[in-house]
Amino acid sequence: MTPSGPLGRRSVLAGLAGVAGAGALTLAGRAAADDADTDPYEALLARAEQQLTGGAFDTEDPDFAAALTALDTQAAAWWQQLDTSAGRTALWPDLSPASDPGMFGQSYPRLRTLATAWATPGTSLTGDAAVLAGLVDALRLLHSAGYNETRSESGNWWFWEIGAPRALLDTCVLLRAHLPADDLAAYLRTVARFVPDADRRTNSPSLAETGANRADKAVIVALRGLLARDAATLALARDGLSDVRGGGKNSLFQYVTSGDGFSTDGSFVQHDCVAYTGTYGSILLGSAGQLIALLAGSDWAVTDPAVTVLHEAVERSFSPVLFDGVMMDAVRGRAISRERARDHTDGAMAVSYILQLADGAPQSYADRWRAAAKGWILRNKETPYAGLVGVPALARAKAVLDDPSVRPADWLTGHVVFADMDRVVHRRRSWAYALSLSSRRISAYEAGNGENLHGWYTGDGMTYLYDGDDLDAFGDGFWPTVDPYRLPGTTVDTRARTDLGTGGGTSTFRPKNAVAGGAVLDGQYGAAAMELVADGSTLRAKKAWFCLDNAVVALGADITASDGRTVETVVENRNLHADGAPRLVIDGHRQPSGPGWSASLPDARWAHLEGTGGYVFPARGPLRALREERTGTWRALNSGADTGGSTTPVTRRYATLWFDHGVSPAGASYAYVLLPGASAATTAVWSLSRPVRIVANDATVQAIESPRLGLLAAHFWAAGTAGGLRTDGPGTVLVRRQGQRVTVAVADPGRTATSLTVHLPFPVRRVLRADDTVTVAPGRRPVLTVRVGGSRGHTHTAELA
């Protein structure tokens, strides 16, 4: 395999995807190989087993060492700790009693890991008769004490309908040649009781399953059908993906305009209002892709032509939010609080699911996906892919990495507005910038079941700067140690907050603002805005961002509050890791490098943080700066039953820059420019030459102009004028003039208007191209009339001359 860094670093078992190449057969596979030639169910069960173990691979290949070691280490530890005593009420002391859904819900995945190690060549448990006997006995204990068809659901429904049955059936697939028939029948009856189909929530039959939950259940139903050798159940599983019984209303292969699923703009929403591409979206991709691969070529193959929605999602939904294989936290929801599911881990899973889907996708898609995956894997040296995935995913990646005909794709560049989930991503070579917004349509955060306890401001305009030279900025202990009141990009009331999501179930908070989103021009430049209506505070603010070639301009206006507390806008709060001491230079003067330094800088013009980039302050202060060392625990963020973090202290250093707007500000404002990757000298020159001019920053309009690009960009909060550009109402407008060619982009991120009239500041003779929603009246004072109503905040464009 092409080297991608140390194979053993931060190994994580994550092996639910993939079929490997040639080599030794797995143990269960040898037992069933003869039957597979004549029994269609056994042939698919053998395929399901390969998806769990990686199938045939060379156990002596050093490329698999980290994955095998991770599997063996974890499985051996759980095997040693397994309680086999008479009268036991649980399998492990930390998961007692087994009658509790949270306890059996976590016990089954451990048994699956043990079974996987038993069935996979090259582990210390491979083929061990004692392990096999112990697994059979352990399954009986969990069935009798916890998960059986006589019980009614209690606690978290997910353990009953997805978590436990999925792990149970995976284990049964691996042990199928050795399970007593009566045992298997009892387990299948139990699963049928709680997961009869993929269509409905068993504990709430009026609730239709959607998105990732439907995909997970379809896999469960398929595995049940295979183990029961029931053709009708297999058809039910396949049809569940397309929601055949529901007339396609909740099909996974359709675009949605609201609620759960993929949108045409690449957004993915789950739980009705949460931006969730990086977790639930990835799970959908993985489970649907697994089922497609599992049933391929059989009488139950997935043949819905609308499966192209899933194919299009790879480049439309996932590629923009994967940076060198790291999944952006802006689309991971409450998963940011999970110690064992960092951005690198979720990114690796998404890459593995994309490669899984490529195996059965049309060649034109598969070739591009494999090239993209190769680029992601090779560029991520900080947390190599080989240390994050299990044998199945590693085998598939190895085939791509070893194939010289697959050329690694370069960095993705461009600007993407995910209007249907209030997210914006701006990408350039070696860096990316993500905006996490919220509105009355999309939640500011999701919390619950003990997860994401400090997620208060993650959707209030938080900004994420991803740098190819520091891929660990948000994955290396960021969430347990960052000051949750000072997240980059946010404007906050400094009031004390209480923990979110401490009770059962999950909940979201949708603020009352309408405006969140923006417009994209030529696929490369963008403007975005958000009206901040703070939770539990009188704080209001108008925030805008303008994304250019090598800079992001952030403006804030009309910042007002009356609660008697200080209001701040955070420019940066950069993770410097455990012992980082990069140079911080402000106006040419190097500042102290150790934790504990702070300063008030009322007249600062620019700052530069080594390894991150430059910051320019066109309106100067009142700027504050701080270097600090912060200690926290993952447990303080997540006390979930199966995702709770450790109480081990984590310490990281931070460099923080913020504007202090004072107590109860009235009409305060701010302006700063981020120059990712710029040197101190470049930053200093930029602050003097001002290649981007702030045209307006008030309650009516926020606008900038870049003469070099010929670009004028504005967000109008009401009818107004900026730089000669005029509108008759609120909206986002970008205009670029290059020689005789003029391009225009318009959007209504507030979704409140039916049409927007835009007056351009220079003459236009003719229309080269325009969306059917755009009417142009050329002339010395050209006018565009844009039908924005019903467009859900998406961009309308025209090309003029």
Question: Which residues carry out catalysis?
Answer: 213, 271, 280
Q: How many Cα atoms sit within 13 Å of 75 on the Cβ side?
A: 28
Asked if residue 567 lies in contact with residue 580, where contact means CB atoms within 8 angstroms, the answer is no
Q: Rounded distance, CA 351 to CA 320, Å? A: 13
Task: Give the list of residues 6+ apart from residue 683 with CB closer than 8 angstroms, or none.
Answer: 606, 607, 608, 613, 614, 615, 616, 675
Task: Give the list of residues 6+ apart from residue 334 with CB closer than 8 angstroms, or none.
Answer: 445, 446, 447, 448, 451, 452, 455, 501, 506
Q: Rounded distance, CA 774 to CA 34, Å? A: 65
Task: Give the list of residues 6+ apart from residue 79 with CB closer than 8 angstroms, or none.
Answer: 114, 125, 131, 134
Alpha carbon of 60 to those of 63, 65, 121, 622, 769: distances in Å?
Answer: 9, 8, 10, 62, 60
Structure tokens at 323: 């940076």
The torsion of the CA quartet 172, 173, 175, 176, rounded to 10 degrees, works out to 90
Asked if residue 216 lies in contact with residue 162, where contact means CB atoms within 8 angstroms, the answer is yes
- Of 430, 341, 325, 320, which Cα lies nearest the Cα of 377? 325
- Of 83, 165, 68, which Cα lies nearest the Cα of 117? 68
Token pair 């919220």 is at which residue?
A: 438
Task: Give the list of residues 6+ apart from residue 80 with CB closer than 8 angstroms, or none.
Answer: none
Q: Rounded distance, CA 292 to CA 298, Å? A: 10
Q: Rg for the chain (alpha carbons), in Å? A: 27
Structure tokens at 383: 């947390």
Task: Give the torsion sign (CA, 329, 211, 427, 713).
Answer: negative
At residue 176, what is the residue type?
R
